[in-house]
Amino acid sequence: MDEWKIPGPAVAVVQNGEVVLVRAYGLRDVEAGLKVTTDTQFLIGSVTKSFTSTGLALLMDERRIDWKKPVRDYIPEFRLHHAVATDRITVRDLLCHHSGLPRHDWIWVPGDLSPAQMLAAMRYLEPGDGAVGAHPHLSPLRARPPPLNHTGFPECKEDSGQTLTN
């Protein structure tokens, strides 16, 4: 903890499908002197993107999902601000941030909403600025999703300029 300059972590080890170790160390709030517990939730930033995309890639490999199919094929209760976007947004669009959705940290921070509540809140996110008509996901004639690379993952290059609107 000293070397990495972190006040406290929680660790869990799963072996052969069973939890074999759960420990908490240090402080979750240095100023208040609150200890980390095994129930402490940590923000881990964009690391969750790699977990999510890897899990989806495994499902893709098992032919249980398809990058190019609409999210609603898998999550029927998925809703966005616009009906057309709701019906057309694909798994690939969400993974590559090509949906036109604005930042929406308020949905998951401070962590007091359930997954079902977060999903329901998605319908209130208005499309972000800077895209054609501020509705990038509503431009089907100009849609060109990124190609899949040799690994089966979508090519999601930040500097590629590939979005649903070009």
Catalytic entry in 46, 53, 99, 139? 46
- Under 8 Å between Cβ of 55 and 30: no
46 is catalytic: yes
Query: In whole angstroms, what is the distance from residue 23 CA to residue 9 CA?
Result: 9
Q: Kindly give the residue spans of alpha helices, DSSP state H, lying in 21-156.
A: 47-61, 83-88, 91-95, 105-108, 115-121
Assigned token pair, 62: 């098992």
Q: Identity (one letter) of the amino acid at 74?
A: Y
Active-site residue numbers? 46
